[in-house]
Chain A
Amino acid sequence: MLIETKKLTKRFGGNVAVNEVDFTIEEGKINAIIGPNGAGKSTFFNLLSGSYTPSAGQVIYKGKDITKLSPDRIAKLGVARTFQTTNLFEQSTVLDNVIVGHRLRTKSNLWDAVLRTKRFAKEEKKCREKAMEVLDFVDLTHVMNQQAGSITQEEKKRVAFALALATDPEVVFLDEPTAGINPGETEGLADLMEKMVKRKITVCLIEHKMKMIMKLADKIMVLNYGEKIAEGTSEQIMNDPAVIEAYLGGDASA
């Protein structure tokens, strides 16, 4: 168990976006969160990565309470993420977009930059090498020097993966990594996630594509109206009456 949430809750005014969710993320596995639109999946991610502060509850990462830490501190502990909408700097090259991802593992400051110290040279090189390494990992070496604005949607998703990987994470959170991507390319991205797990990086993703997730995930949690309605393996989830109702009969019960 790498991350554990205890009764994690987020309220926006009267709207409870995440309601007392207990969840564990297993180390070295592919963990998935599914649920209808507006179920609170992205909000749950934002709570884990520190972008939102919880209204109540706790987030425990490797036995340490990180509930109140700022996102940059959490990132330094080895938690990386991508966003539902990829925001790359389109005017820069793909490589330039990724280099800054390793910034958190460097120490050089303004003086190093202005005086061009040894540390500056060493760390610039280190970040560049890291960027090349992760771009190779996501199979983007061939577009490395192209403007980020000029590459395909699927390649942009891969750049977002690369940027997250450049932080040297232990766990990556991927928010709908295959949204807006065609089926063939989706498989490629699924392979990439399996490749991450092989590299000892724990994956946790949000997905709408059921078929893919049932095949890919070791463990699934289902959110509905901010509440966890099921948790388990794909088989358990597929046969869970609450899940079936949420997906098929939601209107009938309401």
Chain B
Amino acid sequence: MSEPGPVKPNEPPRTRDRVAEGLRRRYMKERAFRLLGLAALLFGLGFLAIFFVTLVSNGASALLQTRILLDVELDPEVIDPEGRRDAVALETANYQQLIRDALNRLFPDVTERSERRALYRLLSPAADLEVRELVLANPALIGETRSLWLLADDDVDMLIKGNIDRDVPESERRLSDAQIGWIDALLDEGRIERKLNRYFFTSGDSRDPELAGIFGATVGSFFMLLVTLVLSFPLGVATAVYLEEFAPRNRWTDLIEVNINNLAAVPSIVFGLLGLALFINAFGLPRSAPLVGGLVLTLMTLPVIIIASRAALKAVPPSIREAALGIGASKMQTVLHHVLPLALPGMLTGTIIGMARALGESAPLLMIGMVAFIVDIPESPLDPATALPVQIFLWADSPERAFVERTSAAILVLLAFLVVMNGIAILLRKRFERRY
């Protein structure tokens, strides 16, 4: 480097002029660039907003369910004509009859058989279950007359929610003119109201929309993610640590690395096929079981976790490793005491993002039979189950109008779970980072 020469008197002003000339255009470009970015962001946000508004406006109504107030006489002659009052008698009693009697009392003019049957159809076929529940919980009520808000049929629900058009010709409507007349009569008496839909969050799937819930699918998803997490996190982290810290760099490890990267990009349905062939056909594991779903999702999530974990390990500054090695720590001590704690937040984030992806996955589950219609809530990872996204798929495919709002509501629930998981990822990262 030579010494800087004396400043020539005319040079700085010339630079200043040149800069001033271009300055305006430079700032204009900068503004344009920023506006472009902002426009892109707003565009994306706009679609997100449309998405949410549609979902919420479609799905919110699923939270409420139409109920009809009936004065049900808990007639001992119907419930327990032999007067035994034991559990079997109470459980097998004909509660349907009680409801029909109540309806007949409300509409004494309806006498013809087919008309009566149409009248009875205003109530859900499962309305009697609620009466039974009441009696079983408190047999002393038998003999009294109780005013009960009973579950309406999904068609009634749809009419109340405005999803069935009264102006359509009767033949194309799911409710007859007579039925609509009765509903209006009930409305006038204040006997129809929308109440909180408790079935949606507490029950499994059902053919009757008013009884269908997401709890079964949620539990299925939970078991599946549990299996996935328990398998893929330790396996993924161990693989990443071995590959990154211990394995020699040679052709074999290069080959493995290429393969892992490829696996991360394999369409998930292929993993479903593999799971079908391997876990179900070869190993004889049960179909539709969250265990198998979890195994398949593990295959799918593992590469993601391995790649994220390796990136997290790579990001640990080499000076920390040198410090530990230089003081006489063994390779394993260096990794366990210093590298892993620093890489853990990144690993956890990668894992949770992988799990979130697994939670939203439906294609591979179709291959292993988790698309079956399952009413019972699974009690273990071996029970048949569906998962949330598959439930959404099933409902979206159902013809009943009432499933439309349930589909949207289920999507909202799935999104809520995803938000919670990603929130946990952020929280964990913050938490672990603050320790240092």
Partners in one complex: no
Q: Which residues of A contact B (CB under 8 A)?
A: none
Q: Which residues of B contact A (CB under 8 A)?
A: none
